[in-house]
Structure 1
Amino acid sequence: MAATLLLQAAPTSARDFLSRAVTPSSPPSPLASRLIRLAPRADPQVLRLAARALSCADPGAERLAVIDFSLPSTEQRLWVFDLARDRLLFRELVSHGQGSGDAMASEFSNIPDSHQSSIGLFRTLNSYEGSNGYSLRLEGLEPGVNDLAFQRAIVIHGADYVSKSFIERTGRLGRSYGCPAVRDEIAVPLIDSLKDSQYLFTYYPDPEWLAESAFLRCPRDGQHLAMQR
């Protein structure tokens, strides 16, 4: 896959591609049905993809975060699910990288110093105190798509440019160096809910990734891909 992921088609064409990719005529999986019930304002097709990826990686995971980067940064496009207790923990604003776009993200990469966000499935690692305060390390699980996330220091952290007041002033959120930054006020509880081997699924309708991601094409007898890494 090319290092920089660009969606060349118009948004409506991308949505058509997504519809075909998730085969909407088939019933959603039990996990997808749970996610759709808990987050009725999220795109159900995105949640179906997130459920497919998590079921392939680690069906026993307790927590899952989903980011829909096809939405503008002015919308709450981050959801955190507590699967063990069957509840939605957070629905939040989240930033994208400076190199990914303005209010709308459209370019994603795995390249160090690109300041672009990455898509795909991540596993969470440990929390720590760093230059951006309390932060959460991420391990990208998809080769060529996000597997340099740790090297690139792509982490979840709080930022003062993620706020409704920033949107009112500028018409968008501030942008990171590629990290999914959240509001300072909720950074600690959100990070604590996801740290230590939970999962983050970040979505954008890139046709190549949708067609080639091992987690989205997981064979029925090929479960637990992430756990085997």
Structure 2
Amino acid sequence: MRRIVSLLILFILPSFFTLTGNRICGGPTAPAVNAPARSTLCSSLYHDMQLEGVVNWEAFRQAVTGYYKISGRKKNILTLIDFSKPSTEKRLYVFDMDRKKLLFHSVVSHGKNSGGNYATSFSNEYGSYKSSLGFYLTDSPYQGKNGYSLLLDGLEKGINDRARQRAIVVHGAAYADPSVARSAGRLGRSFGCPAVPKNLSKPIIDAIKGGSVIFIYAESPDYLAHSSILKREDIG
């Protein structure tokens, strides 16, 4: 009997914590849960994935909270781009949320008018050559002037919803190679696209294409004040 009870606990608990984690971290009933409880569950995921010292906790917490609130996602893959870090550091992360696994960790370029080594200025305007913050859904890949590339749909009005109009896509670029950062002191910059090293562009795009979530983070009170996905009560 004791063995049967133990087996039942092992079977039931993982499902319980998965469902609870989805709810606390930003699922449909998240507004009824206070911010400390939500942070506790997101913290469990952070620790389970062994992200301490690798991923900025606040960036991760915001990314996961929004991820669970986006009903249109079709894949349980989350990409976080952390622009609080310099371009010389690996600041793109691709997470498999089902397997609780970090799939890719890479450098990524920001827009030429967003800043030098750090991205500090952001825009949704056509011709700004700046990066845009916030949540996106990935669409389909295509062959363009930058080779194998991935279409993105910005989900936040006034923040990144002109991504298609501005041709903001994920693509590979020679200027996004770590060797450029070592020689020049920063990565080369894009016209606003999150550009990755050429040797990683295809595997990253293939992993995230078809309806996964991308979150581009910066320490920006202005973004949080205007986001249609993240609310102040979501993140405390």
For the Cα contact (< 8 Å) 1:56–1:218, is it kept in 2?
Answer: no
Q: Which has the larger radius of gyration?
A: 2
For the Cα contact (< 8 Å) 2:154–2:163, is it kept in 1?
Answer: yes
For the Cα contact (< 8 Å) 2:83–2:119, is it kept in 1?
Answer: yes
Which whole-Å CA distance do the structure 2 matches of 1:36 and 1:137 have between them?
32
Q: CA deviation at 1:26?
A: 4.8
What amino acid is aligned across from residue 207 of structure 1 in structure 2? P
* CA gap 1:195/1:70 in 2 versus in 1, 3 angstroms: same
1:175 aligns with 2:186: no
Kindly provide the CA deviation profile for residues 110-168 of structure 1, in whole angstroms up to 9, marking residues without a partner as x.
00111100000000000011000000000000000000001100000001111221112
For the Cα contact (< 8 Å) 1:61–1:83, is it kept in 2?
Answer: no
Moved more, 208-217 or 154-163: 208-217
Count of equivalent residues: 198
* CA gap 1:154/1:60 in 2 versus in 1, 3 angstroms: closer
Counterpart secondary structure, 1:54: helix
Which one of the candidate residues 31, 38, 45 is aligned to 1:34? 45
What amino acid is aligned across from residue 67 of structure 2 in structure 1? L
Counterpart secondary structure, 1:34: helix
Which one of the candidate residues 67, 71, 93 is aligned to 1:79? 93
Which whole-Å CA distance do the structure 1 matches of 2:46 and 2:167 have between them?
29
Q: CA deviation at 1:211?
A: 2.5
Q: How does 1:108-123 map to 2 (within 5 A)?
A: 108-123=122-137
TM-score (norm 1): 0.80
Which one of the candidate residues 193, 206, 209 is aligned to 1:195? 209
Match of 1:16 in 2: none
Moved more, 118-127 or 28-37: 28-37
For the Cα contact (< 8 Å) 1:95–1:180, is it kept in 2?
Answer: yes
What amino acid is aligned across from residue 141 of structure 2 in structure 1? S
- Note the aligned Cα RMSD (angstroms): 2.1
Kindly provide the CA deviation profile for residues 156-209 of structure 1, in whole angstroms up to 9, marking residues without a partner as x.
000111122111211000000000000111110100000011110000121121
* CA gap 1:195/1:185 in 2 versus in 1, 3 angstroms: same
**Uncovered stretches (5+) of structure 1, i.e. residues with no partner:** 1-22, 221-229
Q: CA deviation at 1:219?
A: 8.1
Which whole-Å CA distance do the structure 2 matches of 1:27 and 1:219 have between them?
10
* CA gap 1:75/1:192 in 2 versus in 1, 3 angstroms: same
What amino acid is aligned across from residue 61 of structure 2 in structure 1? R
For the Cα contact (< 8 Å) 1:28–1:48, is it kept in 2?
Answer: yes
Kindly provide the CA deviation profile for residues 3-62 of structure 1, in whole angstroms up to 9, marking residues without a partner as x.
xxxxxxxxxxxxxxxxxxxx9855525455324542321111111111111111138741
Which structure is higher in RCO with an 8 Å CA cutoff and minimum separation 6?
A: 1
Which whole-Å CA distance do the structure 2 matches of 1:43 and 1:36 have between them?
12
Match of 2:64 in 1: 51
TM-score (norm 2): 0.78
* CA gap 1:168/1:24 in 2 versus in 1, 3 angstroms: farther
Q: CA deviation at 1:215?
A: 1.1
* CA gap 1:180/1:144 in 2 versus in 1, 3 angstroms: same
What amino acid is aligned across from residue 106 of structure 1 in structure 2? T
What amino acid is aligned across from residue 120 of structure 2 in structure 1? S
More strand by share: 1
Counterpart secondary structure, 1:173: coil
